[in-house]
Amino acid sequence: MKSTLTPQLISTALKLQDVQYDAETNAIVWTESRGKQTNVMACFEVGQAPVNLTPEYSVRGEIGYGGGAYSVRAGMLVFCHKGQLYRQALAGGVAKAITPSYGAVSAPVISADGNFVAYIHEQDDVAALAVVDIEGRHWPQKLLQGDDFYMQPCWAPDSNALAVIAWNHPQMPWDGSELRLLNLAYAGPLPHVASTAVVAGNTETSIFQPCFSPTGEYLAYASDATGSWRPTIFEISKNAYRQLEVPEGEYGMPGWIQGMQTLAWSSSGSELIVSRNHQAQYSLLGLAVESGAVRLIELPTHITSIDNFVVVGSDVALAYSSAKIPPRISVVSNGAETVLARSFAEPLLPKNQADAEHIAFTTDDGSTVYGVLLMPTPTGANELPPLIVNIHGGPTSQARLAFDSTAQYFASRGWAYLAVNYRGSTGYGRAYVEKLHGRWGEADVADAVYAAKHLIAENRVHADQCVIAGGSAGGMTVYLALANYPGVFKAGVSRYGVADLFKLAEDTHKFEARYLDTLIGKLPEDAERYTALSPMTHADKIQDPVILFQGADDVVVPPSQSEMIAASLKARGIPYEYHVFEGEGHGFRKQETLNAYYQKLERFLQKHVLS
């Protein structure tokens, strides 16, 4: 039967993110993206149709990989658009710019009294925590600068303090970061900093997402000081710390973008609500501050991956998905779900979508490696399916039990699909991430190969029809696996893959400018390792067909990286295709691009793997 999950259906899906809540207007708010247009949507009463609050503006945080596009509070919306902050009443009205067009802005947060907006500003790679009045009558002022990066600013409920995460090169935020507490004073139109203290964190401890309790008594955050992100409470007046007892799992995540969230206070402040990631599956827990009691918050059983959530009175609103259910925005009350928005036309999805299972396997050196596996639906009679081994980017990311349109696309066409959480992936503790330090291009490649061999040994997939695919950092793994482990994979798929580590270190954006110090080594001392681990060094060993996809405007991994590999394949007569998409960056958004991507990829695999 022909699959109903077509490229056209995938390309028209909405991207739903960043659910927030405004108690004054009872509005549940989120962002919807299609192509390069992102709008802020609001639902003022559950059961009523949502309203597009920004039809004339595309809303996006512009620092690094984005995120932190807007904030709501006290009946007001503040959003980012083309380097400026705009304010707009949630009840309606005209948006007004409150900052000048200067640099890039992200992560606005409105003070509890509704008078001020703190945000992250960056100009010429110089970062700052800034503040402006909600009316935009006064020139913005910098509250904190001198560090390379800031993220996740948060106001105290009395508006007399701000918390923010800061870190510096060569650390990434998941390597080491600090939680700063800024006490504010008011002696003019805008607050200024009276004193600053480092609450937690250092160059070897990662801190994630500060949030003040409703009374301002506590400042909660997640810290990986004990080996994985755990919720911690700082009692401000007593200068006392307490890590809350929780089941095994991760309660933070790598700060790739602004606005990420895993913690929220209950309305009364008696509980800290946390999202738990255990074996790539999510749940919500309520942690009683006084007694330490842990309760599982009742959610529909199909919710397995939570992007973010917000407390709405005694209920929660979530941005979530599962293996079979595409992203939704929903309100959950006593375990019952009311859907506010759907990303896909769900009735058009295949009736027999594949379920996902979290698997573990062992490499030849005894390391345990993880992955998320979808077996095909339907299956061929007495036939082993072909396999796609997918390598996520980052490399500090994680495949979860979430909806993956590419995985479902191929599973509905008879493919098995394994997303490998190779050594270096998050979700399994800090030690697992650090297993890739100094070994990128080695450990991840070995894990990808053993992933395929594991499923072959279990007689679950066809040994001669295995494909390796990946984007960005995952594209580098694709190239090296094909070059260094010939015969395991019949073809490779690279999306804007890294080919030259020297060029990556030279050309990439500020956020990742020193990332390779940890993954590979420092330059110039470790230049030999950069040469040895660059796919271009080994490109002449690639003998299997490769299809390459690239965004013409990619500033993270520029087109020159893909062009190097394509030139080598062409010169040696290796079957390949190279497709460049105009107007696309590091990741594909446009409908016509996604249509072309799936169609070209499926034809390539049919020709070189299945024929």
CA dihedral 580, 372, 434, 446 (to 10 degrees): -70
Sheet with 356-362, strands from edge to edge, namely 356-362, 368-374, 416-421, 387-391, 466-471, 491-495, 546-551, 576-581
**What are the tens digits of pLDDT across the range 462-514?**
999 999 999 999 999 999 999 999 999 999 999 999 999 998 888 788 999 99
Give the integer Cα–Cα distance in Å for 310 and 330.
11
Is the predicted pLDDT of residue 36 greater than 70, yes or no? yes
pLDDT tier at 2 (50, 70, 90 boundaries)? confident
**What are the tens digits of pLDDT across the range 186-239?**
989 999 999 999 999 999 999 999 999 999 999 999 999 999 999 999 999 999
Write b or e for each residue in 86-118: b if 16 or more Cβ atoms lie within 10 A of its Cβ, otherwise e.
bbbebeeeebeebbeeebbbbbbbbbbeeebbb
Mean pLDDT score, 147-153:
98
Give the integer Cα–Cα distance in Å for 358 and 370.
7
Tokens of 132: 């402006």
What pLDDT, on the 0 to 100 scale, is given for residue 382? 67
**What are the tens digits of pLDDT across the range 100-123?**
999 999 999 999 999 999 999 999
**What are the tens digits of pLDDT across the range 234-293?**
999 999 999 999 999 999 999 999 999 999 999 999 999 999 999 999 999 999 999 999
Per-residue CA distances from 194 to 53, 134, 155, 160, 222 (Å): 37, 21, 15, 10, 26
Closest among 274, 273, 335 to 303, alpha carbons compared:
335
Closest among 264, 261, 357 to 307, alpha carbons compared:
261
Give the integer Cα–Cα distance in Å for 337 and 327.
14
Percent of the chain with pLDDT over 70: 99
Tokens of 417: 């699909």
Per-residue CA distances from 364 to 367, 424, 441, 450, 487 (Å): 7, 17, 17, 8, 18
Tokens of 230: 């755990």
Q: What angle do CA 433, 549, 475 make, to 5 degrees?
A: 20
Closest among 97, 182, 76 to 139, alpha carbons compared:
97
Neighbours of 247 (CB within 10 A): 11
What's the mean pLDDT when you consider all of the chain? Answer: 95
> pTM, whole model, 2 decimals?
0.94
Which parts of 521-572 are beta strand (E)? 546-551
Mean pLDDT score, 59-69:
94
Instruction: Please report which helix (H) or strand (E) contains residue 212, including its range.
Output: strand 207-212
According to CATH, the topology of domain 12-347 is Methylamine Dehydrogenase; Chain H (2.130.10)
What pLDDT, on the 0 to 100 scale, is given for residue 506? 86
Please state the domain extents for the chain. Answer: 12-347, 351-511+539-610
Scan for tokens 């053993």, then name that residue.
450
Spatial contact of 400 and 407, defined as CB atoms under 8 Å apart: no
Spatial contact of 262 and 281, defined as CB atoms under 8 Å apart: no
Mean pLDDT score, 77-82:
97
Is the predicted pLDDT of residue 378 greater than 80, yes or no? no
**What are the tens digits of pLDDT across the range 282-315?**
999 999 999 999 999 999 999 999 999 999 999 9
Is the predicted pLDDT of residue 1 greater than 60, yes or no? no
What pLDDT, on the 0 to 100 scale, is given for residue 381? 61
Phi-psi region of 343 (alpha: psi -120 to 50; beta: other; left: phi over 0): alpha
Closest among 250, 597, 555 to 405, alpha carbons compared:
597
Give the bridge partners for 117, in sequence order. 110, 132
Give the three-state DSSP class for 481.
Answer: helix
Give the integer Cα–Cα distance in Å for 120 and 150.
7
Per-residue CA distances from 270 to 69, 143, 222 (Å): 29, 31, 18
Is the predicted pLDDT of residue 433 greater than 90, yes or no? yes
Residue range 351-511+539-610 in CATH 3.40.50.1820: yes
Mean pLDDT score, 442-460:
96
Residues with Cβ < 8 Å from 503, sequence gap 6 or more?
558, 560, 561
Judge if 12-347 and 351-511+539-610 fold alike in CATH terms: no
Is the predicted pLDDT of residue 372 greater than 90, yes or no? yes
What pLDDT, on the 0 to 100 scale, is given for residue 509? 85
Is the predicted pLDDT of residue 380 greater than 80, yes or no? no
